[in-house]
Structure 1
Amino acid sequence: MPKKLQILSLSITKNVTIKISKISVPASEKKEGIETHPRALDKDKCKNIGIKDAMMDLANELISALKFIAPLYFVNGSLVVWWYLKGFKTTRPINVELFGKHRAWDGFLFLLVLAPAIYVLLGFSAQLGLIMGAGGCVGNLLSSFLKRRLGMQSGSWLPVVDQLDFVLIPFLFFFLVFGELPEHTVLIIFMTLILHPLGNMIAYKLGLKKTWW
């Protein structure tokens, strides 16, 4: 190649190289991957904190609701065990015609006495325990009475009513006494609709109940 052409080629190459070297590369592409902007990091951090706080609040709500209704859950479950220990036999039914053969005086008194005791142990007042226990008794009787009016046999299944009879009536009693519903009413209702059938199925599998409901 002629000497002039060689000099021209070298000059062009040098200029192009210099210009290319001056092209700025974004800071986000200097390293492998793309670095996150500090503001974006702050937003993600705040979002994660918000989610954690929401989860903690939900957990606290569930614990508080469960603590409030736990005595009725426990007593209602204890009646199943008591029924099993008696050989599935009812002693001294309250009124077979009105409530069926499964509603007996011993179960009524069992609920009325044990519920207040558990409420007191959990730090609630004896008055609240008595109100909730009495409401649970009346709720069980009303559900049985409704079944008799519908021509259903004793021990038959009535959806929703069987799940909520020992919860809704105590809440009604609570409202009549205190002028407002319990703090976690809606949450407790949803919990009961899930936990009550689940508990009955477990009791049925263990042989503590003759039916899964």
Structure 2
Amino acid sequence: MTAQAQPLPAVLPGEDPVRGEASARSDAPPRERLLRAATELFCRHGIHAVGVDAVVAAAGTAKATLYKLFGSKERLVETVLEAEGQAWRDWFLGGLEAGEASPRERLDRIFPLLAEWFRDERFYGCPFINAVGEHDKRDDRVRNLTLAHKRQVAARLRALLAEAGAPDPDALVHEVGLLIDGAIVTALVTRDPEVGAVGARALASLLDNALPGAAPRRRKRA
């Protein structure tokens, strides 16, 4: 994510969760242990529900170490969000870009990737959406971090839409973004594995109508 120790996100498929005693025995540096613990606890339980005492207990560090490294819980929250955003973008955008594929084929990967995330037992939703929901709606600090993350994702999706021939990729990327965000929230609330398949059908219909020369596809209901 940055020049810091490589973060291990709590919200991506295939990662091991933080466990308090196991984390305390880890040979990882205190900063990494604190980030692991804070990420798992904030994503699972909510930022305001978790105090610094719970974070340091799970990380196996002293409270003074947390404040020395991060200065405050607020800065720890920001660091977790920045790290989670980078890790998610690396995973999601990396999945879109993997191997040889046309722009449309890459766009069609969006919801299969999200479905993989939704099916993970440790899927806790989008940490940015969750954080904005928890904070004062007039507080721009968390909102600005969220917008920065969304702009980076949207920029790559917009480029793919332009490469696929979209006549108005600026407008279309907002529609795609609404499908993505809506699916993430719906998957979190319902825990329904069908959400990814529904999103895939909605995206395919949108792209079939928006991209020039796109032949409507017969899609099976998953």
TM-score by length of 2: 0.31
TM-score by length of 1: 0.32
Higher percent of residues as helix:
1
Higher relative contact order structure (alpha carbons within 8 Å, sequence separation ≥ 6): 2
